[in-house]
Amino acid sequence: MDGTPHDLPKTVDEVFNDFKGRRAGLIKALTTDVDRFYKQCDPDKENLCLYALPNETWEVSLPVEEVPPELPEPALGINFARDGMQVKDWLSLVAVHSDSWLLSVAFYFGARFGFGKNERKRLFQMINELPTVFEVVSGSAKQKKEQASGLNYGSKSKSNSRMPSRQFDSESKASKMSAARDEDESGDEEEEEEDDDEQEGALCGACGDNYATDEFWICCDICERWFHGKCVKITPAKAEHIKQYKCPTCSSNKRTRV
């Protein structure tokens, strides 16, 4: 695979942007594109690797022939373990190896371009602010966020399992917030604050980014993870007709043989 960028990142910010782009590509492969990724990892093929590029794309390919390679190589032979374990466990294993590869690539650039102690520390701190690929794929990033903010999604009723419904109505949201400020009814204000806290504590199960009030979100009724509508290709109009939403990972776990 020709995955080496022509303009290598040379500063901390450039390396971090390279890291984020590759990380986004890996998360896509293991979540929203999981069906296509699963099919490409045929155990009957030769040793395959999962690569990601700074432009947030991914591909399954044979390892590079160049020795030594220009960049550190990802885990080799991920396809051989596919049918020997449950899909969820296999995806988690690939995610762990992907995290290791991302760090090795980032700090390879740091070593190559002479990052000092402070630059390496800053780079790691920036990377450490993001959930790992494994945390996103396994759902543990959402669990950690809930524990830190004291959220309890499990107590929400079935009818309230979307955020705050299957689509965001910005005008309605604005009017509710305005009414809460004008009225002295503390019960209404507390309920509004609780909704905002729950929304702000959520992380997208596909890209790992935080909740934003101007974006449509949907919750998986199986694993209870939240997703940007754009990340799972669900629009507000389409969501209105879905009785039980299953995210790509949960849908794949049911369809594929384990």
- The DSSP line for 137-150 is HHSHHHHHHHHHHT
Average pLDDT, the chain: 79
When pLDDT is averaged across residues 94-117 and rounded to a whole number, the result is: 96
Quick one: pLDDT band at residue 47, thresholds 50, 70, 90?
A: very high
How many whole angstroms separate alpha carbon 244 and alpha carbon 113? 50
pTM of the model: 0.58
**In this predicted structure, which of 58-72, 164-178, 238-252 has the lowest mean pLDDT?**
164-178
Quick one: pLDDT band at residue 243, thresholds 50, 70, 90?
A: confident
pLDDT tens for residues 176-225? 444 445 554 555 555 555 555 555 557 888 888 877 777 888 888 888 88
At residue 154, the pLDDT reads 45
Q: Is the pLDDT score of 90 beyond 50?
A: yes
How many whole angstroms separate alpha carbon 62 and alpha carbon 47? 6
* Residues written for the chain: 258
Structure tokens at 15: 């390396």
Question: Using CA atoms in the order 211, 212, 216, 222, what is the torsion angle rounded to 10 degrees?
Answer: 10
When pLDDT is averaged across residues 90-113 and rounded to a whole number, the result is: 96
Angle at 27 between CA 221 and CA 135, to 5 degrees: 70
When pLDDT is averaged across residues 95-124 and rounded to a whole number, the result is: 96
Contact status, residue 127 vs residue 106, Cβ threshold 8 Å: yes
Tell me how far CA of residue 210 lies from CA of 28, 101, 219, in angstroms: 16, 24, 14
Could you identify the residue written with the tokens 């294993």?
93
